[in-house]
Amino acid sequence: MNASLALFGRIGLSLVFIISGWGKIAGYAGTQQYMEAMGVPGALLPLVIALELGGGLAILGGLFTRWIALALAAFSLASAALFHANLGDAAQAINFWKNVAMAGGFLMLAAHGAGALSLDHLWAKRRNA
């Protein structure tokens, strides 16, 4: 049961970032303008997309899970602080706390790993064989 729960948890956490990464590609110019309006250099957008899309896919497969989870936890907290810090706006407050919650989930992944249904586990088994 733990292996299945870890897999479903990874799926839930990863889909938010995979979908968001694709959305940023589809709406590249608008996303870049939004970042710049919030004081974040638009030139960072390719790195954001790589982290969201690549990191999301890595978490989904359970690949380099602990390191990617730490990166996505930091990204989630930075995104909360940079883009959702207006806690007087109910929608922004919800997004802020959503990002904090996702960071918590990623910290749990970093602490406990991806579980038995992951590429990390498969590679560890092969190394030990």
pLDDT tens digit sequence for 45-104: 999 999 999 999 999 999 999 999 999 999 999 999 999 999 999 999 999 999 999 999
CB 62 within 8 A of CB 114: yes
pTM of the model: 0.95
Structure tokens at 85: 């810090």
Write down the residue that tokens 């948890």 correspond to.
9
pLDDT tens digit sequence for 7-36: 999 999 999 999 999 999 999 999 999 999
